[in-house]
Chain A
Amino acid sequence: MSSRDHTLVPTERLLWTGGVVLGASLPHWPMLPVWIPALLGACVLWRLAAKLKGWPLPNRPLRLTLALLAFSGVVVRYGTVNGLSAGSALLVVMVALKFLESYTHRDQVVLMIIAYFLVFASLLHERGLLTAAYLLGYVWITTVGLLQLGRHGSLLPSWPTAKLAARLLLQAVPIMLILFLLFPRLPGPIWAISGGTSSGTTGLSETMSPGDITNLGLSDEVAFRVEFLTGAPRFDQLYWRGPVLAQFNGRTWSRSPGMRRRVLDTLAHSGEPTEYRVMLGPNGDNWAFAIDMPQTWAAEGRRNIVMGSDYQLRVLAGQPMEGRIAYRVTSYPSYTALEALTANEVAVFTRLPDGSNPRTRALVAQWLVDDPSPDEIIARALDVFRAEGFFYTLTPPALGRHTADEFIFDTREGFCEHYASALTIMLRAAGLPARVVTGYQGGELNGIGDYYIVRQMDAHAWTEVWLDERGWVRVDPIVAVAPERIALGSWRSALQGATARTRALTQLPWLRQALLAYDAANTYWNQWVVGYGPQLQRSLLRYLGFERARWAELMTLAAVSTVAILAGLTLYLGWTFHRQRNVDAAALCFAAFSRKLARARVPPLMPGEGPTAFARRAELKLPVVSADIRRIVQSYLAARYEPGGRAALVELKRLVKQFRAVRARL
């Protein structure tokens, strides 16, 4: 096996090795530049062709060149060899080149060990339930590979080996559980190696240009999930605050930079608080959504959440939003946000570009003449949308230069962004400080898991206006034009624009139910398995009666439990090697039989001699009783090797007892 002759490696070993490394690297492929999977595939094919068709394998200089090229390729693509993405890419490249020169037993076993590491690396990227299931399956297959390729002799039949691998893994599961639960999870990173994954995410954008979008796709992708610890508030109170857009250039709303102020003290809460836990998927922008208005909050894990100057929560800058985060918030749906504005800030919140939307400005100027009180202005602005002809639609016509003018006077079709933008422009035209708040509204109750799912299609935009003595007040123009949008959630009210998929979901209740069930499973998975960290561990230990367990105590507990499990395994294995009394009984019977034969001068069973050969020898010596001998051996074999050998054992006992070794009379 240690020969360097590549043709001597048995084909089945090559196929096993190639199959396992291809499958283990498969989850990495979507994240890798195309040439890396191509290289791997080419190397596997080349190696197989060398074995089966006698192709020459690359010599040492060519292999070195290939390795250098591939290494440079990775460095050029990622700019580093550090970090998760570059590391995974490098690992796959290494596997490809290593496979090309796999000659020996050792190479094959090392490749299996690397395959485990490939599975591990994809677990750092992917955390979903299905991926985890695939990877667990793959650990199984890799273990079968290890058992097969670890052999020096020929390979064993696949299926019994697969069962053995499954048994080994199942026996490892209790140890995994103990260590998983008890191994000390540390808050705070040990080494500051940056993750290096930038997941392409869909979330709210930081700008809003109502005239540009003519077809808003309803995405049912999950933005976040919410578990209410106290009773859930009314549906129309579920305004999840996101980015606040205060800067308007005539077409696009964007965030206003530069304002930094501590605003939490300006909040006055009243009424019943609501307490909840948000599980947030990856979003590129660090937003931590909370119900208007949050009072206290705490992130789980290693992150910090702060409140920005617009009352919105953000995960502290510099902490990547890799993976999922969870946080608890206490919010008061009734609040006043009495922020004192400087003259400068008033100017920012009332600014409209010169010459934009002249018709709207003229209309508002007329209102100001009639009654300049802010309440009256707001009421009249909302009345505009209640007039004939305003539609809530997800497929509005495109708008030209003066978006508010065209929307209010001409097209009158739009979705929340059009209404919020137009209303804010009207209020600013009246000299009232106003801004657009984006976020999500509502959510869907998952009855199976008893939590809410907020999807991208629940994205919403509304207006906040600043009034003397009342501070920032939310005004949602959609309530005026499409109150059911608030009562039910957007996707149900706008079905004519909905995608086929969403329609199918509403028409096939069982499919919807199944998807909700899967979502519930995934959520529990994320919450209890993926999210198992220092906090959950502390709660678990407290539940088990370990108040404030120390590092050393946890390790000792884990070690003692592991040793206990292994002791159990030892007992079990020892028992399997000694179990099945009928086997021993059959052997005892057979021993008694051969003692009887020995008295008739038939030499006893010799090493390497099977019972059948022994019987033939005895029959030659004792032809008179050869039929008896044959029957005894048959029932012995049946008792020993056939399923349900109990009856055969009884028969064997009887036959041996009756057996008389009668020598032939010569």
Chain B
Amino acid sequence: MQNALSQRMSGWAANWAQRRQGRDARAVTLQRRRIYILPTRFGIVFGLLVLAMLLGSLNYDASLGFALTFLLAGLGLVIMHHCHNNLLAMQIRFAGALPVFAGQPALYRIALVNSAPAARYELELAHAGQISGPVDLAPGHSKTLEIAVPTDARGWRRLSRFAIATRYPGSLFRAWTWIHMDALCLVYPAPAPVGRPIPTGPSHHGTRGMPAQDDSDFVGLRRATPADSPGRVAWKAYARSGQLMVKQFSGAAEVPSMLDWDSLPELGTEARLAQLTRWCLDAAAEMRSFGVRLPTTAVALGSGEKHLHECLQALALFEMPAS
């Protein structure tokens, strides 16, 4: 109940902040007027402590009691300013997000850049109840925080509002800023299950209906690098070990195939895209040259990493409004 109320309040405040700030570019340098600050629970307890001390000093007419009370009150205010300043003039940059298939978490990378000559401490990224960090930033250094967001549909996935926050020093206050930046992650359609063979087009080979020749031999797994195609990732191995591995094949069937939207008339739009995605991955894994033909667009025959991504992007963005 209380939680719901506080959520509504913070949602309202965040919307207000967005109206006031507008949308952000992909690199933001924090200005004073967009850094918000409130006391934490400890800050409230600390405030009550100072109040209790004030009452005690009044009652006992204790001059030194007043002195300590006011020293701590001053300390609280000074800490508030340091907390606010811990974010001031820091740069926040979107450092990219690798494309994923729908259903996989999108991993957005946000770089915090401290170009000031003073260190900043305990910076964290908060997004939809998740916290990433905290990290400390030495003068002139930058660090990247990652935030994972679940995906369910293909297309461009925009990172919703997130906050960069700090409780330094002393956890008495929390200063934060809301960021609404165009941090986009491309989400490919989730591939259909393995099984349906790639049709080899009649226009090219005349071996219609024949199962794809699979004369490439699976030889093993190796550790994945960012350059690897997601289609060659051994997802089953990933589920077992949590480590991204890619399948390696020897030999390749150089049978070019044009993967055609029209070859799957019995399926709905998303299912067709899923199947086409699967075929793209299979074709790339078999190191064939392939292309994609959609009603609105087509990708010519080709092969290689970059080509695969072009095809998958075409599938991901099919009939999507331009963003």
Contact = CB atoms under 8 A, between A and B. Distances in A.
| A and B together in one complex | yes
Interface of A: 84, 105-106, 109-110, 113, 116-117, 119-120, 123-124, 127, 132, 135, 139, 143, 146-147, 150-153, 156, 164, 168-169, 171-176, 179-180, 183, 185-186, 189-191, 193, 195, 301-302, 322-323, 529-533, 562, 566, 569-570, 573-574, 576-580, 583, 587, 606-608, 640-641
Interface stretch (B77-85, B156-164, B220-228): B77-85
Contacts of B303: none
Contact of B117 (A119, A151, A583): A583
B49 A117 contact: yes
B118 interface: yes
B61 interface: yes
B151 interface: no
A565 to B, nearest CB: 8
Contacts of B142: 607-608
Interface in B51-74: 52-53, 56, 58-74
Nearest to A562: B77
B17 interface: no
Contacts, number: 180
A583 B140 contact: yes
B63 A569 contact: no
Contacts of A302: 61
Interface of B: 32, 41-42, 45-46, 49, 52-53, 56, 58-75, 77-79, 81-82, 85, 88-89, 93, 95, 109, 111, 113, 115-118, 121-122, 134, 136, 139-140, 142-144, 167-172
14 contacts: A113-B45, A124-B56, A132-B64, A151-B134, A152-B171, A175-B73, A179-B74, A189-B59, A190-B58, A583-B117, A583-B140, A607-B142, A608-B143, A640-B140
A540 to B, nearest CB: 13
B120 to A, nearest CB: 9
A173 B142 CA distance: 34
Contacts of A530: 63-64
Contact of A120 (B53, B61, B82): B53
A171 B66 contact: no
A128 to B, nearest CB: 10
A172 B115 contact: no
Contacts of B134: 151-153
A594 B77 CA distance: 42
Given A120-B69, A607-B113, A607-B142, A168 B60 contact: no
Contact of A135 (B58, B68, B70, B93): B68
A574 B88 contact: yes
B89 A109 contact: no
Nearest to B140: A640
Given A151-B134, A164-B169, A577-B89, 15 more contacts: A105-B171, A117-B53, A120-B65, A124-B62, A139-B68, A168-B75, A171-B74, A179-B74, A189-B59, A195-B60, A529-B63, A529-B67, A607-B113, A608-B111, A608-B143
Nearest to A605: B142
Nearest to B96: A607
A176 B111 CA distance: 39
A110 B118 CA distance: 29
Contacts of B136: 153
Nearest to A608: B144
A578 B89 contact: yes
B64 A123 contact: yes
A577 B144 contact: no
3 closest cross-chain pairs (CB), A and B: A175-B74, A172-B74, A150-B171
Contacts of A172: 71-75, 77-78
Interface of A is mostly: helix
A529 B64 contact: yes
A628 B58 CA distance: 70
Contacts of B172: 146, 150
Contacts of B63: 127, 529-533
A123 B68 contact: yes
Contacts of B45: 110, 113
B132 to A, nearest CB: 12
A173 B167 CA distance: 22
B77 A576 contact: no
Contacts of A580: 117
A151 B53 CA distance: 25
Contacts of A124: 56, 60, 62, 64-65
B213 to A, nearest CB: 41
A577 B85 contact: yes
A27 to B, nearest CB: 12
A573 B78 CA distance: 10
Nearest to A609: B142
A641 B138 CA distance: 11
A169 B144 CA distance: 33
A322 to B, nearest CB: 8
Contacts of A180: 66-67, 70
Contacts of A84: 60
Nearest to A301: B61
Best-buried of A120, A562, A566 by chain B (most CB within 10 Å): A120
A569 B81 contact: yes
Given A169-B71, A569-B81, A578-B116, A607 B95 contact: yes
A573 B59 contact: no
A32 to B, nearest CB: 19
Contacts of B117: 576-577, 579-580, 583
Contacts of A195: 60
Nearest to B136: A153
Contacts of A150: 42, 167-172
Contact of B122 (A151, A169, A173, A532): A151
Q: Which of B69, B70, B85, B117 has the most CB of A within 10 A?
A: B70
A154 to B, nearest CB: 10
A355 B140 CA distance: 98
Contact of A569 (B71, B78, B113, B121): B78
Contacts of A640: 140
Given A124-B60, A143-B75, A175 B111 contact: no
B53 A566 contact: no
B71 A641 contact: no
A573 B82 contact: yes
Contacts of B167: 150, 152
B85 A573 contact: yes
